[in-house]
Structure 1
Amino acid sequence: MQRRRDTGGDMNRPAAALTALCLTLAPAAQAAQDQTMNEDGKMKIDVIVETETLSATLDDSAPARDFAAMLPLELSLSDFHGIEKVADLGRQLDNSGMPKAYEPKAGDITQYRPWSNLAIFLKPFQSSAGLIRLGQFDGPVDALDRASDVPVRIQLAD
């Protein structure tokens, strides 16, 4: 008995439809991302704290792009020694091309890779191994400076 070779036929139709859909949506996704970038190719994000929106700019780097791909995020930022606000991102970001340590300044957005934490610095701190910079706030971060947890929504800027 000779087996009939399956040449795909109807089996390839769902894959073709999915490919067509992806090709249709890709330009729209790229246009939305382009809309949030400034002239330096850096991406703008909003950090919403209750009724206040804080603007920030992500660096043009692999970890910042990886972080942007996770947005929107709803997080509860916890106080860490009065120096930073932290929340678990659930995974390490791509750190391609990044230095092994970073010295954060007030308003910096970072990830502490050993713990996979997002860390937003309210005050400057010493250089720390495993800390990678993602970007910085465009203005004051007073809305985050509380002893209690701060619920936030982080999203791409309009």
Structure 2
Amino acid sequence: MKQLMLTLSLMFSIIACLASCDKDNLPLNNTEEMATDNTVKSNKVRIKIGASTFTATLLDNPTANAFKALLPLTINMKELNNNEKFFDFPKSLPTNSSVPASIQSGDLMMYGANTLVLFYKGFTTAYSYTKIGKIDDVTGLTAALGAGDVKVSFEINPTE
């Protein structure tokens, strides 16, 4: 799993570097230089839901870093409890769960080791989650997510 994530991260770095460089300035045979592209180090993620776009700030922890290594990612998130959307990854991500003081609208978390959760309503809970990040401005989030399942795209925000 670790090698797969490293390989995916390296491939994304190479593609991002190729997309952002003109052909006369490409590094030759230097994948290490290409892997340090600043867009990969960004802690800002663009989240697209239908016609709406949100920016989230990821935390600096192993779970958020593993999630970031999977980007860009488009997934179908399922509705649960009229307060969250979730998606089950086929493989586990590293976690360090705890019971949060409360859940806030815009929280992006992992439930267990493979369930990504995007909350759109706040509440208190006794369940444990690993925090990944939070949407910076949740205005319009509930309307964008709607009442049922929804397609959500996550990508590194190249402007941050």
Q: 1:56 deviation in Å?
A: 0.5
Unaligned runs of 5+ in 2: 1-26
Return the letter of the residue paired with 2:30: T
Show the counterpart of 2:58.
58
Q: 1:107 to 1:69 in 2, by over 3 A?
A: same
Aligned residue runs from structure 1 range 60-75, under 5 A? 60-75=60-75
**Cα pair 2:50 2:144 within 8 Å, conserved:** no
Show the counterpart of 2:130.
132
| Higher strand content, 1 or 2 | 1
Normalising by structure 1, we get a TM-score of 0.71
Match of 1:29 among 35, 46, 54: 35
Identity within the alignment, %: 24
Larger Rg: 1 or 2? 1
Normalising by structure 2, we get a TM-score of 0.70
Output the CA distance in 2 between the equivalents of 1:134 and 1:111: 7
Q: For this pair of structures, how many residues does the alignment match? A: 127
Q: 1:121 deviation in Å?
A: 0.7
Match of 2:99 among 66, 90, 101: 101
Output the CA distance in 2 between the equivalents of 1:81 and 1:93: 24
Q: 1:82 deviation in Å?
A: 0.5
> For residues 28-54 of structure 1, what are the alpha-carbon distances to aligned partners after superposition, in whole Å with 9 as ceiling and x for unaligned?
2322323x2xxxxxx000111123211
Return the letter of the residue paired with 2:40: Q
**Cα pair 2:79 2:149 within 8 Å, conserved:** yes
Deviates more, 1:116-125 or 1:141-150: 141-150
